Amino acid sequence: MRPAHRFWRLGAAERRAVLQAWALVWSARLGLWLLPFARVQAWAARMPARSHAAAPGVERLAWAITATSRCVPRATCLTQALAGQALLARYGHAAQLRLGVAKAERGGLEAHAWLICGHQILIGGREVERYAPLPARKGPGA
């Protein structure tokens, strides 16, 4: 089934979440290209909550970020985690962005970002145990 058909088969609340997710993934991607990381992280953490009568659950919001990120160039794990943090905040859910590093196979380091809500990894959960988490950033947006 084509993506447009799948989109129209969603309920109204999920369609709204998908559109918001798409806009937030683009915003996070553009922000990471143009602004310092700290500003983009503060933006994602401070997204104002809005009331939504029939809000999708956190898993469906995470799915919306993952699905729409396929349409955004270079929507890395960091882009998705930042957009996810902003979308969850918009729906009134606190989420924590985590960054980690691991030794790369060819030497050097590789980084990964993931998003935690409660005790659940919502975005970027693949092989997260490989990465040593960096200390959480203190200050605004942390």
Separation between Cα atoms, residue 21 and residue 128, nearest integer Å = 23
Cα–Cα nearest to 112, from 83, 132, 96:
132
Encode the chain (142 residues) as per-residue pLDDT tens digits.
Answer: 566 667 677 777 788 888 999 999 999 999 999 999 999 999 998 888 887 667 888 999 999 999 999 999 999 999 999 999 999 999 999 999 999 999 988 889 999 999 999 999 999 987 888 999 998 766 544 4
Task: Give residue 142's pLDDT.
Answer: 45
Distances (CA, A) of 87 to 45, 90, 112, 139: 10, 5, 20, 21
In one-letter notation, the amino acid at residue 126 is R
Per-residue confidence (pLDDT) for residue 41, from 0 to 100: 93
